[in-house]
Homo-oligomer: A and B are copies of this chain.
Amino acid sequence: MGMRAGELAMEFATVGLDDDALEAARILAAAGRPALIVLGDDGLPYTVLPGSQVLRFVLPQYVQDDPRLARVYDEQSADALGRGLSGRRVRDVLREKPDVDDIPVVEADATAIEVAAVMARMHSPIVAVVGDGRFLGAITVSRLFGRLLPTGEAPQGSQK
């Protein structure tokens, strides 16, 4: 039968919609992940919040349009990130109510290939796993590869 999502799921950092946005950014930093899972008021995954989206919220549009202009902007503040998030909640940082089909989430009994298909379809490095009406954990693409790939020699990849 192969591996199921419930067995592949691991602990993953989450935040609530009404949590402090600055705290959320700190949690992301501490977790060392590219994104957080945002849980809705029902405790189920509401969306995935990529760190890059937090930056989009904080940085002025002209800096995003032309990152070279950041050098001008930078003179004023290395703490723009903190100031931009201060007093905000996670829900303020999100772009809009995500469409239910755009949330990378699977049931605990989903097959590993189903998990892979959701990642591929949504260009997502993370899939949330739910079961019995609650959030169980998440599966990263690296974990999926680690479990799905046929064993071979240890990777020789260059680390730089």
A contacts, CB < 8 Å to B: 2-3, 11-15, 19, 22-35, 50-56, 58-59, 63-65, 67-71, 73-74, 77-82, 106, 110-114, 116-126, 135-137, 140-146, 148-150, 152, 154-160
Contact = CB atoms under 8 A, between A and B. Distances in A.
Contacts of A79: 148, 150
A33 B50 CA distance: 14
A96 to B, nearest CB: 15
Contacts of A32: 140, 142-143
A156 to B, nearest CB: 7
Given A34-B34, A111-B74, A63 B29 contact: no
Given A26-B155, A78-B113, 18 more contacts: A11-B159, A12-B159, A23-B155, A25-B149, A28-B141, A29-B146, A34-B125, A34-B142, A51-B119, A51-B141, A52-B120, A52-B124, A59-B113, A64-B121, A67-B118, A74-B111, A82-B149, A136-B160
A154 B35 CA distance: 19
Q: Quick one: which of A19, A122, A146 has the most chain B CB within 10 A?
A: A146
Contacts of A59: 113, 116-117, 120
Contacts of A113: 59, 63, 70, 73-74, 77-78, 80
Given A70-B116, A120-B64, A141-B55, A14 B152 contact: no
